[in-house]
């Protein structure tokens, strides 16, 4: 493609300044943020896990509440990082023109997007941690191994944050994000084993979901949360990391085309 600057991004320490800026904004809105982080999963888990769980019983050899809670720890990284990477980043890039101001300093798009991705992952981690605490309170966490789920949640936050940044780089307005949610985020939430095991899906669909990043996040997070052995850990980690790296690279190239003209 013409007019695209495909030079490999270089990330410098300045990325942390962008991350810190977002932390400072978040800190002043701490109350509502924490209410959302803890309140929402608590309602979901109590409602679905306990209410629906009575009818469902055991799923994949575990109580439905445990199945659901461990799935939502993973999916929350996706939803949180996606929202942040689209709506919040778009706000800073377009109407607020925060990036225009930052680009007048030594920082470059490479650093800005690295800082944003790091922040998306941080928010995913906060949300995943909150759910894990709620799940522990409900007695469905298998043991200390559950703490190992948190770095995975952070990695998944990078992955989904990076993918969201690509959409933001292409978006003309906020409505554009509806396509991504309806075509990718919501299907992943339904099909990647968060609410029910994937083996009940038709064969072709089971193959398809193997290519979706949320599947791999769930495959890692669920056993870690409930205290079961993790299978094919490197495969899952590699898929998530590859998605994150490629998404970052593509987002940098697309935002360069948008802002450095």
Nearest approach, Cβ of residue 260 and another protein (Å): 6
Residue 48, φ and ψ in degrees, nearest 5:
-75, -50
Q: Which is nearer to another protein, 7 or 137 (CB)?
A: 7
Angstrom distances, CA of residue 46 to CA of 1, 6, 31, 73, 138: 50, 48, 22, 15, 9
Q: Which residues ranging from 76 to 115 are in contact with another protein (CB under 8 A)?
A: 96-98, 100-108
**Number of shown-chain residues binding another protein (CB under 8 A):** 23
| Shortest Cβ 116–another protein spacing (Å) | 14
H or E segment and range at residue 59: strand 58-59
Q: Which residues between 241 and 260 bind another protein (CB under 8 A)?
A: 260
Indicate the residue among 25 and 182 with the shorter CB distance to another protein.
Answer: 25
Question: Is residue 21 involved in binding another protein (CB under 8 A)?
Answer: yes
Q: Is 14 in the site for another protein (CB under 8 A)?
A: yes
Nearest distance in Å: CB 160, another protein: 23
**How many residues are present in the chain?**
261
We find the least distance from the C-beta atom of residue 29 to another protein, in angstroms, to be 9
CB environment 24-56: b (16+ within 10 A), e (fewer):
eebeeeeeebeeebbebbbebbeebbeeebeeb
Between the CA of residue 159 and those of 10, 42, 164, 186, 187, what are the distances in Å? Answer: 18, 25, 9, 16, 17
Interacting residues with another protein (CB under 8 A): 13-14, 17-18, 20-21, 24-25, 28, 96-98, 100-108, 260-261
């Amino acid at each position: 493609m013409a007019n695209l600057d495909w030079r490999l991004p270089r990330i410098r320490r300045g990325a942390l300044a962008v991350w810190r800026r977002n932390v400072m904004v978040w800190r002043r809105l701490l109350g509502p943020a924490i209410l959302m982080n803890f309140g929402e999963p608590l309602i979901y888990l109590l409602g679905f896990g306990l209410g629906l769980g009575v009818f469902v019983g055991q799923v994949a050899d575990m109580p439905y509440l445990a199945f659901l809670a461990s799935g939502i720890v993973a999916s929350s990284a996706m939803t949180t990082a996606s929202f942040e990477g689209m709506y919040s980043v778009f706000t800073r890039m377009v109407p607020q023109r925060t990036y225009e101001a930052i680009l007048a300093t030594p920082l470059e798009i490479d650093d800005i997007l690295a800082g944003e991705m790091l922040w998306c992952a941080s928010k995913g981690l906060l949300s995943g941690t909150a759910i894990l605490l709620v799940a522990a309170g409900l007695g469905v966490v298998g043991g200390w191994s559950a703490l190992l789920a948190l770095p995975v949640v952070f990695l998944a936050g990078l992955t989904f944050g990076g993918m969201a940044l690509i959409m933001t780089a292409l978006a003309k307005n906020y409505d554009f994000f509806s396509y991504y949610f309806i075509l990718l985020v919501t299907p992943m939430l339904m099909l990647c084993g968060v609410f029910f095991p994937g083996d009940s899906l038709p064969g072709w669909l089971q193959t398809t979901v193997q290519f979706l990043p949320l599947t791999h996040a769930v495959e890692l997070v669920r056993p870690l949360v409930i205290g079961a052995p993790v299978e094919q850990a490197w495969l899952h980690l590699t898929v998530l990391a590859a998605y994150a790296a490629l998404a970052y690279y593509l987002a940098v190239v697309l935002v360069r085309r948008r802002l450095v003209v």
